[in-house]
Amino acid sequence: MNKILYLPTRYFPAISGAELYIQRLAEILQSRYNYQVSILTSNAIDFRALRSSKGKIIKINNKYFKSVNNVEINRFSINYDDNLEKKIEKLHQIESFKLLNISNETLRKILKNGPYLDNVFENFGTLISNNYKLIHTTFYPYFNLILALMIGKNQNIPTICTPFFHFSNPRYLDSDMIEILKAFDLLIACTEIEKRKIQELLNIPNSKIQVIPMGVDYNAFSNSDKDKGEFNFKKHFFQKAERKYKMILFCGYKNFEKGAISILKAIPNIINRYKKVYFVFIGPSTIAFNRELSKIHKLKDARIINLSPDNLTGYLDKKKISAFKHSDIYLMPSRSDAFGIAFLEAWAASKPVIGANIGATPQVIRNNIDGLLVEFNNEQDISNKVLTLLKSKRLRNKYGLEGNLKVLHYYTWERIAAQTHELYNKFEKRGEEP
């Protein structure tokens, strides 16, 4: 039995692409390939909790605290002490950290992102006794990456990182923070363009970075049984006389980076030319989003449904799945996606997608084949492309079908887990090249 250790920043019931990636890999590798997977993570639920005590955390009495779908979870409390120099001094006293040769400037910047789990240091002995074959961590540039490297050095086992490197976001290009990625034995990029960008920035050999994309639970989102006794999003949320209105869906963090605020700003132009449409937003809100939303609510013909994680029960929540199945267009003009699982979810439901022509998205969406690309934060371009699809059922069906076929053949979680399993097998001995 292969024992592996996963170190994500957060874990379910926290929901984002990085968390879902680790969760689905853990569940499938354990159930299909006889792995024994352990999760080491923080007790944070939202991003704020990674570095602030005012964020949401999961309590020890929560039924998901120690296990999710038979995967063992070890959650550690976050130390919110803001004395960075004290943290740096403590780390320099640990032998496995000294072996990493990380500069204080790099350490200082990553510590600011959190989550600082100093209680893990006291449990190194227990971790070593588990005889893990490898460690896999995710989500640059957070402190769990340093923890993974420290444990790897302590146990003398390979360390792998899937950084989800948002290279189109200037915040990710800090030369000090990027240096941490060089310390890993292997990096996994989601697209070829992400791989090329990381290689360019780090000057690392081709063998040290592999490409494995993201996945989707195809059968859960497939639109074939949309109306067979399942939760019906339109019947539940739409006015009865408006259930034939079109529906535009956004699912993700409602901030500027994800394009949610740009969508809100495009709504007046869209409804001025096409009134019979609902806009549905699913995901955590931000102050900026709520401020802009309050303006849109004042418009006469604006029909907006706004759901947060508090209204949902997780990744496979019935409301969320039904929203994808009953939508007409999936719209996420983001610049901060290493891939974009939500595009796969929309395609699994045979829906056309619109994304931003920036970052990795142009490699995920084939423009004018399975979706459309828009200029990031260009509300006029967004509204024009949305109207193009609203007015053409033929294009919506064409793009949705093309995307559906692509997902079915290349992007199911089962396929992604199989590729990851194959990659892990090449790491049976430390230093063996992939």
- Work out the angle between the directed axes of helices 413-425 and 17-33 (0-180°, nearest 10): 70
User: Would you state the pLDDT for residue 122?
Assistant: 79
Please say whether the dihedral angle defined by the alpha carbons of residues 123, 126, 129 and 133, taken in this order, is positive or negative: negative
pLDDT for res 431: 47
pLDDT exceeds 80 at position 174? yes
Give every strand in the sheet of 329-332, ordered side by side.
304-307, 277-282, 246-251, 329-332, 353-356, 371-374
- Do 356 and 335 contact (CB within 8 A), yes or no? yes
Q: Name the most confidently modeled range: 98-102, 230-234, 370-374, 422-426.
A: 370-374
Token code pair at residue 418? 């199989």
Helix (H) or strand (E) holding 421: helix 413-425
- The pLDDT-based confidence of 434 (bands split at 50, 70, 90) is very low
At 130 the pLDDT is 74
Q: What is the pTM of this model?
A: 0.92
pLDDT of residue 169: 83
C-alpha closest to that of 399 among 374, 359, 376, 367: 367
- What is the C-alpha to C-alpha distance for residues 114 and 209, in angstroms, rounded to an integer? 25
- Residues 260-305: tens digit of each pLDDT: 999 999 999 999 999 999 999 999 999 999 999 999 999 989 999 9
What average pLDDT is seen over the chain? Answer: 92
In order of their start, the domains of the chain are: 2-215+413-425 (3.40.50.2000), 218-410 (3.40.50.2000)
pLDDT for residue 273: 96
Region 217-238: what's the mean pLDDT? 81
Buried/exposed 117-128: b ≥16 CB within 10 Å, e otherwise: bbebbeebeebe
* Predicted local confidence at residue 32, as pLDDT: 95
Alpha helices in 203-331 (DSSP H): 218-221, 233-237, 260-273, 287-296, 318-326
Residue 188 CA to residue 343 CA, distance in Å, equals 20
Per mean pLDDT, which of 197-206, 222-231, 300-309, 406-415 is the most reliable?
Answer: 406-415
Is 8:137 a contact under the CB 8 Å cutoff? yes
Report pLDDT digits (tens) over 22-49. 999 999 999 999 999 999 999 999 989 9
| pLDDT band at residue 230 under the 50/70/90 scheme | confident
What pLDDT shows up at residue 270? 97
Give the pLDDT band of residue 121 (cuts 50, 70, 90): confident
Rounded distance between C-alpha atoms, residue 103 and residue 304, angstroms: 48
**Mean per-residue pLDDT, 84-97:** 92
**Per-residue confidence (pLDDT) for residue 242, from 0 to 100:** 94
The arithmetic mean of pLDDT across residues 214-228, rounded, is: 80
State the pLDDT at residue 430. Answer: 44
